[in-house]
Structure 1
Amino acid sequence: MKATDVIADGFARIRETVHEAVEDLPAERLNARTDPAANSITWLVWHLTRVQDDHIAAAADREQVWVTGGWADRFALPLPAGATGYGHTAKEAGQVRVDSGGLLLGYHDAVHEQTLRYLRDLAAADLDEVVDDRWDPPVTLGVRLMSVLADDLQHAGQAAYVRGALEREEK
């Protein structure tokens, strides 16, 4: 198995967890927050997808799906167009809302497909390429991909946890 196949499998697991957290939930539950400072399922999934989109697009030297796929317009968020959620305040996180899970899943799936297309074209040697020399040691493509994968999986797990908490609250 190629190293990039292992990374692709990791991103597929994120997609599965995202779908499990979002599917069949009404907008009210997707946008709900367990307390005023907590992140909603909507924000968590939007954020993890925005970060993946941003980082994969930068690595591939492509435009983000957020722009090319018209997702920024469809979401119509009252935030700067380039926002990814990094450093958001509780107020900003609360502004990330959707009318349906289909919007979240559509964007996530589009980014997932771009990620897989990018990974298919990579060779194992490409993972050693330095993509960010602002760090010591400099960040390689492999490390950057694993960083995105790990961060996304954490947020997907948080979204699943929030779903469970909200469902327990209903009972």
Structure 2
Amino acid sequence: MWHLTRVQDDHVSEVAHAEQIWTEQDWVSRFGLPFEPFDTGYGHSTQDVAATEVSSGKLLTGYLDAVHNRTTRYVGGLTDADLDRVVDSAWDPPVTLGVRLVSVIADDLEHAGQAAYIRGVLERQS
């Protein structure tokens, strides 16, 4: 859940030309994770995943809420024409804002599904 929020924060902040909520609101210190400040969890090893311990659900949902609020404010101000703006020309074809936002949504949904699955497995074990 931390990773899906970090990726959303990273990607939306980049296209919105804004500082990440992670650093802007000092969530990085509140979490106290053993990673570089702009780490999103992408490519983490098994050991890195094990080191991603969050002290409370409130901390995690607080960060998620802050990122979600920024994302909805940003997306709410977009026009149809904005979605065609190229945000990453390193790809062929270049990535537009619309494609980037769909990518963030898809990634978040996949990770939320994985978390729900694990929660179900754990609940059935008790």
**TM-score (norm: length of structure 1):** 0.73
Q: Does 1:143 align with 2:99?
A: yes
**TM-score (norm: length of structure 2):** 0.98
Per-residue displacement from partner, 1:118-137 (whole Å, max 9, x unpaired)?
01111110000000011111
Higher relative contact order structure (alpha carbons within 8 Å, sequence separation ≥ 6) = 1
Per-residue displacement from partner, 1:95-127 (whole Å, max 9, x unpaired)?
111121001100001000000110111111000
Question: Partner amino acid for 1:152?
Answer: D
Output the CA distance in 2 between the equivalents of 1:89 and 1:98: 17
CA RMSD of aligned residues (A): 0.6
- The gaps in structure 1 that reach 5 residues or longer are 1-44
Per-residue displacement from partner, 1:41-70 (whole Å, max 9, x unpaired)?
xxxx00000000000000000000001111
- The gaps in structure 2 that reach 5 residues or longer are none
Structure 2 contact 33–51 (Cα < 8 Å) conserved: yes
Q: Which runs of 4+ in 1 moved over 4 A?
A: none
Match of 1:131, SS state, is strand
Deviation at 1:169, TM superposition (A): 1.1
Structure 2 contact 31–55 (Cα < 8 Å) conserved: no
Output the CA distance in 2 between the equivalents of 1:134 and 1:94: 33
Output the CA distance in 1 between the equivalents of 2:23 and 2:119: 29
1:153 to 101, 109, 112: 109
Q: Does 1:164 align with 2:120?
A: yes
Output the CA distance in 2 between the equivalents of 1:166 and 1:100: 18
